[in-house]
Amino acid sequence: MQSSVQRHLQRLWHGSDERWKFFRQWLRHPRATAAISPSGPHLVRSMIAEMPADARRVIELGPGTGVMTRAILARGVKPDDLLLVELNPEMCQYMHNAFPTLRVCCADARELVSKCLDSGFSDGGAADVVLSSLGLLSMPRDLQTGILKAAFDSLGPDGCFIQFTYGPACPVPREVLDELGLHATRGATVLRNVPPATVFVFRRNRSRAIVPRSTRC
Ligand SMILES: C[S@@+](CC[C@H](N)C(=O)[O-])C[C@H]1O[C@@H](n2cnc3c(N)ncnc32)[C@H](O)[C@@H]1O
C-alpha cells in the first residue's frame, strides 16, 4: 500500500505544474534542457528589454514551457509573426497544447532555415530577432556555429540574436564570432535568477561576413 508521501510525490511527478514538467525534462535530458527550472521573471524581462523597439517578427529558440513566449506575446508580437523551434518532443507537445495558435516546430535549431520555409513563417519576410534560451555555453563549437549560422541566415540585415548565459562571460568564443563575422554586446546581469545569468546580444559586423540568405545572389 502506498504511503501518503508516495502518493503526493506521484501526483507531483505526473502533475501538470510547469516547473515539474521542466524538472522532469531536465532529469531525462540534462544537457539539452540546460536548466533545472524555467527562467525567472527578472531574466525574462531583461531578455525582452533587448528587443529593438521596432522588432515585429521573432523566432524563439528553445521555448521549453513558454515563459519567454508569453513575454514575447505580451510585448505585442502577433502570433503570426512568431516561430518557435524546440528540440524536445514533450516540450513541443506542451507548447502545442498551451499555445494552439502559434507555429511550433519540433526541430533542431540548426534546421531553422528550412523550418522558416516549411512553416510559412518566411512568407512574411525575414526575422527581426532570434531570442534564444539554448544552452550555448555547454555546446561543442561546431554546434554553436551551426546554430548561429542558421539564425543569421533567417534574420534580416539588421537583425539581432538575443541570448542569455549562466555566468558573466560571453558564451560564444572569439574565434566563432570572427568566423561568422559577428560581435557581441553585453546586456544586463540578472542576479535574481537561479542561477544568475547575463544577457548578450549578437549582431553582424559592418562587413557582414554572414550575408543574409534573402540578399544573396
Ligand atoms: C534552458 S531551457 C530554456 C527554456 C525556456 N525558454 C526558459 O527560458 O525557461 C533550453 C531549451 O532549449 C531546448 N533545446 C536545446 N537544444 C536545442 C536545439 N538544438 N534546438 C532547439 N531547441 C533546443 C531544450 O529542449 C530546452 O527546452
Number of structural domains (the chain) is 1
**Chain segment 13-29, per-residue pLDDT in tens:** 555 578 888 888 888 89
Among 11-15, 98-102, 156-160, the least confident range: 11-15
Quote the ligand 1 centre to 133 CA distance (angstroms).
Answer: 6
Average pLDDT over residues 91-104: 96
169 CA to centre of ligand 1 in angstroms? 20
Residue 155 sits in a domain whose CATH number is 3.40.50.150
> Is the beta carbon of 59 within 6 A of some atom in ligand 1?
no
Q: Report the separation in Å between the CA atom of 2 and the middle of ligand 1, taken as the mean of its atom positions.
A: 35
pLDDT in tens, 27-81: 889 888 888 889 999 999 999 999 999 999 999 999 999 999 999 999 999 999 9
38 C-beta closer than 6 A to ligand 1? yes
Give the model's pLDDT for residue 24. 87
Tell me the CA–centroid distance for residue 66 and ligand 1, in Å: 10
- pTM exceeds cut of 0.85: yes
The verdict on the CB of residue 144 being under 6 Å from ligand 1 is no
Pairing of the two strands 155-166 and 197-204: antiparallel
122 in contact with ligand 1, CB cutoff 6 A? no
**Could you tell me the residue range of the domain that residue 74 belongs to?**
34-216
Distance from residue 62's CA to the centre of ligand 1 (Å): 3
Distances in Å between the Cα of 27 and the Cα atoms of 64, 65, 89, 119 are 14, 15, 15, 31
Sorted by sequence, the CB contacts under 8 Å of residue 57 that are 6+ apart come out as 77, 81, 82, 121, 124, 125, 126, 127, 128, 129
**Is 134 within the bounds of a domain?**
yes
Specify the residue with its C-alpha closest to ligand 1, atom 24. Answer: 33
Structural domain includes residue 15: no
Residue 12 within a domain: no
Residue 11 within a domain: no
